[in-house]
């Protein structure tokens, strides 16, 4: 079947079609939580106990019985007897009776017999009916001998300035679903509950092949007619940023058998295969045939309604994505971002894929487009008097420096014929 | 000097004050380009040669002398004699005379004697005055024996469909400045020029100390009154995301000498020191004294006009940033993002720090704030009928799950007293 028979699909439909064929999640492995940044949970995780595990003060002050402060005001303070200090890190064993209080630090445990905390700023220590200066909670400063008296200038309600047991998370609650992409705070949430190891999905290994008789390794001197392989490494960089492991398969000449053999070999060892093919129609046709020969279902679509990147080939073989990207470096990067990166998340079952950062900026030049096609134009950002400015970096998609000189991509939606100078446009950040 | 004498500064002023004291960039090291994602160039890099190094076709078609096509149209085509094919990866040696053309693939070199390329779609092969079907550029399909004749239906201008030498980058041009944070396309830009190793700034090592009598390691069972150390690892995660290397110094009790000793030891080994101190005033005062004792200039400011995170201590000792963060995990993370992450970039001399991703969303609940203070409210994003919705995740800043359950932070600027339901708000993504 010739490639010409495949439909050119809008990007969202193309991605949905690919995703329908990617249902299996890669196997799990167990790793220490502090090393799990950017990894993905393999199973749902529940709280082994509530958090906090004890009632904690949110203020420096006094643990009190709230009823003892009712009616207190600056003009008519309540008087409390401070019978001791609640040391940090120890179980609060002091017992308060009516009219009694205990010094407590922020984060400290309050005793069974207390039900609120009065902020130290709302109190004043009294000795022989005179105010005493100094902070009774200071480590280095004045210390007071217990018991002493303090005035309270404001009433507190039951529970005020106190974290309740389970207020952060309750025992048994699902704290993270399976497929959660782990961020710094998620590590904190696990460790707070004593969970120091986590079952995560193995990192996807992404096989990358460059093809083309004209392509030589970057370390090699290129004679006129030859170019150095850069797509392997720009895509490898994108793979790393998305949390995958690039496996470089080298450069294959424009020969069906050589490409077929190399592709089958690399696909068997990896979880996804990327072929950065030449941009010539003949090479694209060859890539389609190679993918068809690798296994079922083979090529899903040949062509995406975008610019750059229309001749992208999207396939699946034995549950593994296989992408044939255009040889132009700009097209290859944009298309890998559109299909490869989401597929890396999908192979890990990610439910909270990191959102692509974007900024709004004022367009400094008209951009033409065609309705029915999604365009991506590299743009450079700078600060202007009325906000951020987006200046298109025009250039053919063979020119890698159009991307080196850009900060992001302006997306022109399917239904727009272009964008005008002065419009606010969305710039997707690299 | 008591901490009370230090000014509370707005965040931007606080960061500017810190940066004025951070002038030195860390030493450089040389690494292979494919491993340089997220690293920072130590020196300015110039193009050793122009790119492309030869004139390349941007289309499948025929290398021609443009003048031979002048006036050609569908009704009155030009006729050209195709004398051969220009093979990919080889120097184009064919010589064209008037009326001659050569088959060329996308990316192929065009010979000295050609000055434009006619797209194959604008041509038709002729044999015995009849059109011949088949693609003369197909690898697998029909081959034509040279010479053969082709019709050309559209004129091309000199240079059309040809990449000129140096069109991507010119020999000697600065391709990347010193301090450039390297992205996938930058690796491509270097490799395209045969630059396979790059001098980058050493990764900053960030020392992290947790302090508090109540803090125990995450693997330890916490008795009532104790909490597990999570700030070391949430901050460690942020350090990793920003390209630094976390060096964990463990948990230090609330004791001046112990903290002073541990801080001096860890600072000597690292490029920045983070102390995640308790939230009690007494512990904050101790942290200030410790930083003052470490060296000059010491504490720069004690207090930032933000919520959460007001009691942040920002200092510099011997050119190294020293931060005393609040003990509350939410405050600690937000403040590290505000000062620690920019300092990690600053230590590497970054000129193109990655922009924080953000999205606009419709607020689903009122949020109160105070003018003169920058507030950060964790928010969860979801899709609504009119766009993205941002729902504040309210909770005390002791509660790490307010961040676990959030996708980003809503920033309430210094000059606003709050935000209203239905307003479009900017959400800074985690």
- DSSP string for B92-106: ------TTEEEEE-T
pLDDT score recorded for residue B5: 43
CB contact under 8 A, A189 and B87: no
Write out the two tokens for A128.
């022989």
Average pLDDT taken over every residue of chain A: 93
Is B207 a domain residue?
yes
Is B353 a domain residue?
no
- Chain A: closest CA distance from residue B39 (Å): 12
Write out the two tokens for B259.
């903290």
User: Do B121 and B183 have their domain in common?
Assistant: no
Q: From the list B38, B194, B357, which residue is nearest A355 (CB)?
A: B357
Residue located via tokens 């509530």? A50
Domain boundary at A347, A374, A408, which? A347
Query: Which letter does DSSP use for residue B7 in this model?
Result: P
User: Do B45 and B191 have their domain in common?
Assistant: yes
pLDDT score recorded for residue B372: 85
Is A353 a domain residue?
no
Is A280 a domain residue?
yes
The per-residue pLDDT for range A314-326, each reduced to its tens digit, is 999 999 999 999 9
pTM reported for the whole predicted model: 0.94
CB contact under 8 A, A285 and B229: no
User: Do A210 and A325 have their domain in common?
Assistant: yes
Report how far residue A8's alpha carbon sits from residue B56's, in angstroms, rounded to the nearest whole number. Answer: 27
Report how far residue B340's alpha carbon sits from residue B132's, in angstroms, rounded to the nearest whole number. Answer: 69
Is the per-residue pLDDT at A14 higher than 50?
A: yes
Q: From the list A191, A224, A358, which residue is nearest B359 (CB)?
A: A358
Is A79 a domain residue?
yes
User: Do A22 and A32 have their domain in common?
Assistant: no
Q: From the list B184, B219, B355, which residue is nearest A196 (CB)?
A: B219
User: Do B217 and B230 have their domain in common?
Assistant: yes
Query: Which of the residues A3, A45, A94, A107 would you substitute to probe the B interface, choosing the one with the greatest number of B C-beta atoms within 10 Å?
Result: A107
Q: From the list A184, A224, A254, which residue is nearest B139 (CB)?
A: A254
In the three-class reduction of DSSP (H, G, I as helix; E, B as strand; rest coil), residue B219 is classed as coil
Q: Is the peptide bond before B147 cis (omega within 30 degrees of 0)?
A: yes
User: Do A305 and A410 have their domain in common?
Assistant: no
The Cβ-side half-sphere exposure at B123, using a 13 Å CA radius, reads 31
User: Do A270 and A340 have their domain in common?
Assistant: yes
Residue from B244, B420, B265 nearest B344 by CA: B244
B187–chain A Cβ distance below 8 A for any pair? yes
pLDDT score recorded for residue B3: 40
Report how far residue B412's alpha carbon sits from residue B307's, in angstroms, rounded to the nearest whole number. Answer: 10
Q: From the list A53, A135, A188, which residue is nearest B329 (CB)?
A: A188
Q: Find, in chain A, the residue whose alpha carbon is nearest to that of B399.
A: A168
Domain boundary at B100, B135, B163, which? B163
> Mutual orientation of helices A231-241 and B184-192 as an angle, nearest 10°?
160
Residues forming beta bridges with residue B425, ordered by sequence position: B361
CATH number at residue A401: 2.40.340.10
Q: Find, in chain B, the residue whose alpha carbon is nearest to that of A395.
A: B168
Residue from A375, A304, A221, A386 nearest A14 by CA: A304
Is A352 a domain residue?
no
CB contact under 8 A, A224 and B89: no
User: Do B213 and B328 have their domain in common?
Assistant: yes
pLDDT score recorded for residue B349: 97
Is B36 a domain residue?
yes
What's the residue count for chain B? 430
Residue from B163, B317, B182 nearest A328 by CA: B163
Q: How far is CA A202 from CA A244, B66, B236, in A?
A: 9, 56, 22
Write out the two tokens for B58.
């941007």
Report how far residue A237's alpha carbon sits from residue A246's, in angstroms, rounded to the nearest whole number. Answer: 8
Q: How far is CA A360 from CA A248, A387, A413, A423, B411, in A?
A: 36, 9, 15, 10, 16
User: Do B195 and B209 have their domain in common?
Assistant: no
Q: Which domain holds residue A265?
A: 3-26+203-347
Complex prediction ipTM: 0.93
Q: Between these two residues, A191 and A9, which has the higher pLDDT value? A: A191
In percent, the amount of chain A with pLDDT more than 90 equals: 82
Is the per-residue pLDDT at A20 higher than 60?
A: yes
Consecutive 10-residue averages of pLDDT for chain B (430 residues) = 58 95 96 98 98 95 97 96 94 96 95 96 88 73 80 97 96 98 98 98 98 95 95 98 97 94 98 86 86 96 88 95 94 95 98 88 93 91 94 88 95 89 92
Chain A contacts in chain B segment 102-161 (CB below 8 A) = 105-109, 120, 135, 137-141
Q: How many domains does chain B divide into?
A: 4
CATH number at residue B174: 3.90.105.10
Write out the two tokens for A171.
């025992």
A203's CB contacts (< 8 A; 6+ apart) are A39, A243, A244, A245
User: Do B232 and B196 have their domain in common?
Assistant: no
CATH number at residue A152: 2.170.190.11
The per-residue pLDDT for range A115-161, each reduced to its tens digit, is 999 999 999 999 877 888 777 877 544 567 899 999 999 999 999 99
pLDDT score recorded for residue A370: 83
Is B352 a domain residue?
no
Q: Chain A residues with CB inside 8 Å of B292's CB?
A: none
pLDDT score recorded for residue A137: 78
Report how far residue A310's alpha carbon sits from residue A105's, in angstroms, rounded to the nearest whole number. Answer: 63
User: Do A231 and A249 have their domain in common?
Assistant: yes
3-state secondary structure B378-389: EEEEEEECCEEE
The per-residue pLDDT for range A162-188, each reduced to its tens digit, is 999 999 999 999 999 999 999 999 999
Residue B292, sorted as left (phi over 0), alpha (psi -120 to 50) or beta, turns out to be alpha
Average pLDDT over residues A256-278: 95
CB contact under 8 A, A228 and B194: yes
A221–chain B Cβ distance below 8 A for any pair? yes
Q: What angle do CA B404, B409, B413 make, to 5 degrees?
A: 155
Chain A, chain B: beta-carbon pairs less than 8 Å apart:
341
User: Do A182 and A246 have their domain in common?
Assistant: no
CB contact under 8 A, A184 and B354: no
């Amino acid at each position: 079947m010739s490639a010409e028979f495949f439909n050119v699909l809008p990007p969202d439909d193309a991605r949905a079609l690919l995703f329908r064929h990617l249902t299996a999640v890669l196997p799990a492995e167990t790793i220490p939580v502090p090393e799990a940044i950017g990894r993905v949970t393999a199973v749902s995780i529940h709280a082994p106990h509530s958090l906090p595990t004890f009632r904690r003060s949110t203020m420096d002050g006094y643990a009190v019985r709230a009823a003892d402060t009712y009616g207190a005001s600056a003009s008519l303070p309540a008087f409390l007897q401070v019978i001791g200090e609640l040391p940090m890190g120890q179980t609060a064993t002091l017992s308060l009776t009516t009219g009694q209080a205990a010094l407590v630090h922020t984060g400290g445990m309050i005793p069974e017999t207390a039900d609120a905390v009065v902020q130290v700023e709302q109190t004043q220590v009294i000795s022989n009916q005179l105010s005493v200066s100094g902070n009774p909670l200071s480590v280095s400063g004045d210390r007071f001998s217990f018991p002493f008296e303090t005035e309270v200038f404001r009433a507190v309600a039951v529970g005020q300035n106190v974290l309740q047991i389970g207020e952060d998370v309750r025992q048994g609650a699902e704290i993270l679903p399976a497929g959660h992409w782990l961020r710094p705070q998620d590590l904190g949430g696990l460790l707070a509950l004593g969970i120091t190891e986590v079952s995560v999905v193995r990192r996807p290994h992404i096989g990358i092949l460059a093809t083309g008789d004209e392509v030589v390794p970057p370390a090699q001197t290129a004679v006129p007619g030859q170019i150095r392989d850069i797509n392997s490494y720009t895509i490898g960089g994108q793979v790393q940023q998305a949390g995958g492991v690039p496996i470089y398969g080298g450069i294959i000449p424009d020969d069906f058998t050589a490409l077929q053999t190399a592709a089958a070999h690399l696909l068997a060892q990896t979880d996804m295969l990327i072929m950065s093919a030449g941009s010539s129609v003949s090479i694209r046709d060859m890539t389609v045939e190679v993918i068809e020969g690798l296994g079922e279902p083979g090529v899903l679509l040949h062509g995406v309604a975008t610019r750059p990147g229309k001749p992208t080939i999207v396939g699946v073989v034995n549950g593994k994505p296989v992408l044939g990207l255009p040889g132009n470096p700009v097209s290859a990067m944009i298309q890998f971002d559109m299909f490869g990166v989401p597929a890396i998340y999908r192979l890990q079952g990610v439910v909270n894929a990191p959102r692509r950062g974007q900024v709004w900026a004022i367009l400094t030049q008209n951009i033409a487009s065609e309705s029915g096609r999604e365009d991506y134009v590299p743009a450079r950002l700078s600060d202007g008097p009325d906000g951020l400015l987006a200046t298109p970096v025009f250039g053919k998609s063979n020119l890698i420096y159009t991307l080196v000189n850009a900060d992001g991509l302006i997306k022109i939606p399917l239904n727009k014929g272009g964008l005008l100078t002065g419009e606010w446009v969305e710039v997707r950040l690299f």
